[in-house]
């Protein structure tokens, strides 16, 4: 059985830790889409209307941490005082991290900040496709 951290890293459903929450990879040519219901246990990810607005706060915290870290690293490496360097680096960072933040803010919200959503070990199991392959 996988831990909560592993489930978040692999973007699995918080209820069964088996079904995938998103359809594609974090970075790809197609826009990432989230399943409405868990493909394994049927859990509805948006537990109430507008639930993922709360993920914006998590995403904001992620962005602040990333931008502060990168600003510090940029200052340490380049020792530059040009504001344009920082604007360029931080703007690029915000764009590059956006898909990551979208996905992991929702995962952190459901796995760690939603007391009503708990892991049910009885629902944990291998994916249907994998079970079929094994016969
Ligand atoms: Zn599930």
HEC string of 43-100 equals CECCCCCCHHHCHHHHHHHHHHHHHHHHHHHHHHHHCCCCHHHHHHHHHHHHHHHHHH
Query: What per-residue confidence (pLDDT) applies to 17?
Result: 95
Q: With pLDDT > 70 as the criterion, what percentage of the chain qualifies?
A: 93
Q: Which two tokens stand for residue 38?
A: 């868990």
Interval between CA 44 and ligand 1 midpoint (Å): 8
- Residues 90-119 have pLDDT tens digits of 999 999 999 999 999 999 999 999 999 999
Query: What per-residue confidence (pLDDT) applies to 129?
Result: 52
Interval between CA 20 and ligand 1 midpoint (Å): 8
Q: What is the mean pLDDT of residues 65-72?
A: 96
Confidence of residue 28 (pLDDT cuts 50, 70, 90): confident
Residue 41 has pLDDT above 80, yes or no: yes
Which among 9, 38, 6, 14 has a CA at the least distance from the CA of 115? Answer: 14
Please identify every residue whose CB atom is under 5 Å from ligand 1, which is an ion.
Answer: 13, 15-16, 19, 38, 40-41, 43
Interval between CA 90 and ligand 1 midpoint (Å): 36
Interval between CA 32 and ligand 1 midpoint (Å): 19
The whole-chain average pLDDT of the chain stands at 91
């Amino acid at each position: 059985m996988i831990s909560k951290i592993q489930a978040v890293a692999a973007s699995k459903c918080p209820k069964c830790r088996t079904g995938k929450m998103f359809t594609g990879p974090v970075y790809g040519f197609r826009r990432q889409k989230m399943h409405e219901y868990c493909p394994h246990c049927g859990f509805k990810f948006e537990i109430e209307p507008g639930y993922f607005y709360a993920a914006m706060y998590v995403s904001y915290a992620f962005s602040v941490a990333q931008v502060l870290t990168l600003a510090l690293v940029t200052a340490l490496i380049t020792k530059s005082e040009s504001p344009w360097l920082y604007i360029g680096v931080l703007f690029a960072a915000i764009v590059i991290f956006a898909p990551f933040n979208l996905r992991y803010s929702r995962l952190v919200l459901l796995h760690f900040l939603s007391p009503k959503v708990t892991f049910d070990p009885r629902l944990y199991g291998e994916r249907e496709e994998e079970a079929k392959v094994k016969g």
